[in-house]
Structure 1
Amino acid sequence: MTNTLNWGIISTAHINRRLIPPIKKSGRSTLVGVASRGPAKAQAYAAEWGIPRAFGSYQELLDSPDINAVYIPLPNNMHHEWAIKAAQAGKHILCEKPLALSVAEVDDMAQAAQDNNVVLLEAFQYRMHPQIAALQKTLGEGLIGEVKHITTRFSFVLEDETNIRLIKELGGGSLWDLGCYNVSFCQAVAQSDPVEVFAWQKTTAAGVEISLSGQLRYENGIVAHVHCGFDRSFRMSATIEGTTGDIDLSSPFLPDVDVNPSGFSHIVDRVETRIDTPVKDPYLCEVEALEAAALDGVPAPYTLAHSRGNIATIVALYQSAEQGKPVAVE
């Protein structure tokens, strides 16, 4: 087993700017190349970011024997195809969220990873960050008693109709782009997936969802509310209500990114106590999680079972919003 991940990035997506520095910083990773749909763009991007090799197609990068891990930040509708191709090429995979657009796609991708003995990890960076582990430990110790209710919000204004987030055929929609964090966070707190959901949505003339509010009911009695949208100002927050107190998070999904601090507040009888957590780049956390899984055989804290449950919940929320009735999560 090799002791280094030699990375290739499939596409020149804007989100790459978050992952390139951590890959270069990590002592167990090397950034080898980047691919685009043509050589000129790949070469220009490689020169801009100091990446040694440029590949003129995604498949050319996958065919390189010098690369054993890939990052896939492609549009949502392309994750399934290229994750499977990467697995078949023997590459470990960090794939952007949402991992896929259906449970069947998740199952296909997981099977391809298993068949080819590679690691497939969904890039929910905050699930690898110390903040979520500290939160789960705090809840497990009973600091706020029994968890009863979770509320999450994630939004920002997006009006550019050419943005891939607003193109339905590419897997656009605020729930796929933002709300996937909300649903995943509730999963982390409830330690399970919901059994039933109900949702309301607002769509554009083109049929793209730009705002969704949903209720999630868990078998253990927890009820969660998720709110996401491209139609209102930036907001990111989470509140967990228990029988003896509450916990508030101002940066549940982007801890230690830009001006968003990690840590959370414990509130009892309107008295607030700050609980700090280790400061760390969450994108480095996901790089290290793939390293540990691929190089050491250490299971990632966010598994494909988690990914499958998250996608199943999102699909059910969309079905509920379209049908106007509660939907069971399958």
Structure 2
Amino acid sequence: MGIRLGIMGAARIAEQQVIPAARRTADFQVTAFASQTPASRKRWQDQFPELRAFSDYEALITADEVDALYIALPNALHVSWALRALAVGKPVLLEKPAALTAQDAEVLRERANQSGTVVMEAFMYQFHPQFQWLSRALRSGLIGSVRHLYAEFAFLLTHPKDIRMQPALGGGSFWDVGCYTVHITRQLLGAPQAVFARRIDGPTGVDIHMAVQLIYPDKTASLRAGFDSADVQGVRVVGTGGELGLTHPFRPDMGEAQQWHNQTVDVVPPADLYGLELRAFLAAIRDPGGLGQTYLNDLVEQARLMEAVIRASQAEALQSF
């Protein structure tokens, strides 16, 4: 039997991706879930009758048949429930964004270290072979010195009652999909020196469009996130000796993913995206002081830059970082 995983929140990502991925590996066994919404709980009970159902999140956390938690609640609830899991020594795979402030991210890291376990932010794209190819290509100097990176992730969302449209729940396109563009830029280029951002808010008060400029000593990055356009995602890196990129960097399972270098285009072979994420989570659980600490540090640095972009968008002025 693998690690017994409890699912907190009846989210589609858990239903359609994480549970099927866990079923494909012997490393994890999903044993229970919790939802405070009766209709969602009933639907999951019908779909997953083998799982123990809870209406109370605390009961799920303390259940004997749960060794680790996957938390897929609205963004504003991530930190509080992750801290409860850490308090009883259970590792957490935490949906992005893990924290809405750098201070909360620091608290997560501190409590994880105190408990001797891990919190890993669920940026699954980074474990896909196409991202590994992109990262290796840049490190090898395939396109010379990097001068500019462009990353975008957007789709059309118009339903005002969607939780991603609710300010009190940590809604907004930047938190939902812009976090991917920030994360991949950090992974490839590191932290910038300065940040500039402009936002367009929708009728509910959350951003539905965010445009970001990250300034480095010898390069720049342009990022875009939105709820206001047709589905689009991509990353393009331009250097002194060429360019390369990915057509579907964040969700390669959504369409025909391609990786390209100058005029050479290759179709990306399918990979078990969420299975790879679960295996990385398992490796972090087994090595909390090494790999686990790496993911905790990444979580903090991600929150720091996300918060800096939000501040820049509110000030509409260049912010040092």
2:166 is the counterpart of 1:175? no
Aligned counterparts, 1:121-136, within 5 A: 121-136=120-135
Q: Give distance in 1, aligned partners of 2:108 and 2:142.
A: 38
Q: Deviations over 1:64-120 (max 9, x none)?
A: 122111100000000010000011122110000011100001011111111111111
Q: Deviations over 1:44-82 (max 9, x none)?
A: 413313442111211111111221111000000000100
Q: Which residue of 2 aligns with 1:321?
A: 313
Q: Which residue of 2 aligns with 1:48?
A: 47
> Equivalent residue of 1:7, what SS?
strand
The question of whether the paired residues in 2 share the 8 Å contact of 1:9 and 1:72 is answered with yes
The question of whether the paired residues in 1 share the 8 Å contact of 2:160 and 2:204 is answered with no
Q: Deviations over 1:181-214 (max 9, x none)?
A: 0111111111x11121001110124321110101
Q: Which residue of 2 aligns with 1:96?
A: 95
Q: Give distance in 2, aligned partners of 1:301 and 1:282.
A: 22
Q: Deviations over 1:231-288 (max 9, x none)?
A: 1111111110000000021011112x14242x51000xxxx11356553121111111
Q: Give distance in 2, aligned partners of 1:82 and 1:236.
A: 31
Q: Which residue of 2 aligns with 1:266?
A: 261
Q: Which residue of 2 aligns with 1:247?
A: 244
Q: Which residue of 1 aligns with 2:200?
A: 202
Q: Which residue of 1 aligns with 2:185?
A: 186
The question of whether the paired residues in 2 share the 8 Å contact of 1:254 and 1:260 is answered with no
Residue 304 (structure 1) shift:
2.1
The question of whether the paired residues in 2 share the 8 Å contact of 1:121 and 1:302 is answered with no
Q: 2:230 aligns with which of 233, 238, 248?
A: 233
Q: Which residue of 2 aligns with 1:66?
A: 65
Q: Give distance in 2, aligned partners of 1:294 and 1:51.
A: 25
Q: Which residue of 2 aligns with 1:14?
A: 12
Residue 128 (structure 1) shift:
1.8
Runs of 5+ unmatched residues, structure 1: none
Q: Give distance in 2, aligned partners of 1:169 and 1:24.
A: 34
Q: 1:59 to 1:39 in 2, by over 3 A?
A: farther
> Equivalent residue of 1:232, what SS?
strand
Residue 222 (structure 1) shift:
2.1
Aligned counterparts, 1:147-186, within 5 A: 147-186=146-185
Structure 2 counterpart of 1:31, one-letter code: V
> Equivalent residue of 2:230, what SS?
coil
Q: Give distance in 2, aligned partners of 1:147 and 1:312.
A: 23
Q: Give distance in 1, aligned partners of 2:269 and 2:109.
A: 32
Structure 2 counterpart of 1:289, one-letter code: A
Q: 1:54 to 1:30 in 2, by over 3 A?
A: same
Q: Which residue of 1 aligns with 2:302?
A: 310
Q: 1:301 to 1:266 in 2, by over 3 A?
A: farther
Q: Give distance in 1, aligned partners of 2:154 and 2:204.
A: 20
> Equivalent residue of 1:234, what SS?
strand
2:266 is the counterpart of 1:295? no
> Equivalent residue of 1:303, what SS?
helix
Q: Which residue of 2 aligns with 1:139?
A: 138
Structure 2 counterpart of 1:266, one-letter code: H
Structure 2 counterpart of 1:251, one-letter code: H
Residue 141 (structure 1) shift:
1.1
RMSD, aligned CA: 1.9
Structure 2 counterpart of 1:53, one-letter code: R
Q: Give distance in 1, aligned partners of 2:53 and 2:221.
A: 45
Residue 130 (structure 1) shift:
1.9
TM-score of the aligned structures, taking structure 1 as reference length = 0.91
Q: Deviations over 1:124-160 (max 9, x none)?
A: 0001222222211111111100111001111111100
Q: Which residue of 2 aligns with 1:280?
A: 271
The question of whether the paired residues in 2 share the 8 Å contact of 1:34 and 1:46 is answered with no
> Percent identity among equivalent residues?
31
TM-score of the aligned structures, taking structure 2 as reference length = 0.94
Residue 38 (structure 1) shift:
6.0
Q: 1:173 to 1:302 in 2, by over 3 A?
A: farther
The question of whether the paired residues in 2 share the 8 Å contact of 1:134 and 1:277 is answered with no
Q: 1:197 to 1:214 in 2, by over 3 A?
A: same
Q: 1:107 to 1:143 in 2, by over 3 A?
A: same
